Amino acid sequence: MPNKFTPHFEATDSMADLVRADYNILPLLSRFSIPLGFGNDTIGEICSKNDIDADTFLLIANFTLSNGIDHSIVTPVAALGIVDFLHNSHDYFISYKFPHIRSNLLNALDANHSDINPAIIAYFDDYVNQVKLHFEYEETTVFPYIRRLLSGEKSDYKIDIFRKNHDEIGEKLSDLKNVILKYYTTSKPNLMYDVLVDIFNCEDDLDQHNDIENDILVPLIESFEKSDKK
């Protein structure tokens, strides 16, 4: 079976065409705070209307579609835009996605498993708390450092500290998914299948979040650190 062609989008392309290419791009639009109803406007026009750096948007959008990076548009402006995007992503997971999954999970639990249901919810809550700590470190240490670096301030912190200690945050969620898949019998399969779809999507979303940090942000900041030494 031939590989699916992955298009590369530019500012002159239609935003609707971008969404049609892969509907999984929709959460990305949400995190850039791009409202629906973009008609036939181009990506560049919509970014301009919403005070978004188009190069930053295209960098992340094309990476999301293909895992490829256009290094020609990686600039300090893009770096700040990536930090803002990641900050919005944190808010998306904590304020919306995790509560949404938890609510649906509670509705899907079968009363016949009253012995193990509390353990499942506790496991999920513990996972969310771990992710919050992960995000809090980035919000209080990594992102402020990047903003200071790009404004010309000196610091003893280096992005390599973050890189070496950057844990994958999707693994425990994957464990919960596998437990439900393999061992949880239920009289409400439709509800639980919906929860599993949410968990699969969230797991992929978190992996992509990590990839943006590891494959775009960290190398970008390392390059600024090196140029700052010259």
DSSP secondary structure string for all residues of the chain: -PPPP-----TTSBHHHHHHH-GGGHHHHHHTTPPS--TT-BHHHHHHHTT--HHHHHHHHHHHHHS---GGG--HHHHHHHHHHHHHHHHIIIIIIHHHHHHHHHHH--GGGTTTHHHHHHHHHHHHHHHHHHHHHIIIIIHHHHHHHHTT---S--HHHHHHT---SSHHHHHHHHHHHHH---S-HHHHHHHHHHHHHHHHHHHHHHHIIIIIIHHHHHHHHHHHH-
How confident is the model at residue 65, as a pLDDT?
87
How confident is the model at residue 2, as a pLDDT?
41
Please enumerate in sequence order all residues whose Cβ is within 8 A of that of 206, keeping only pairs 6 or more positions apart, or say none.
93, 131, 169, 170, 173
How confident is the model at residue 120, as a pLDDT?
95
How does the average pLDDT of the chain come out, rounded? 88
Nearest to 171 by CA among 218, 213, 123: 123
How confident is the model at residue 164, as a pLDDT?
84
Residues 191 and 126: their CA atoms lie apart, in Å, by 22
Of 36 and 78, more confident: 36
Interval 104-108 mean pLDDT: 96
How confident is the model at residue 190, as a pLDDT?
95
DSSP 42: B
Tell me which residue has tokens 């094309």.
Answer: 62
Residues 205 and 197: their CA atoms lie apart, in Å, by 12
Which percentage of the chain shows pLDDT scores above 90? 60
Interval 161-176 mean pLDDT: 81
- Does the pLDDT value for residue 183 go beyond 80? yes
Burial of 42 (0-12, 13-18, 19+ CB in 10 A): buried
Nearest to 223 by CA among 114, 75, 102, 124: 75
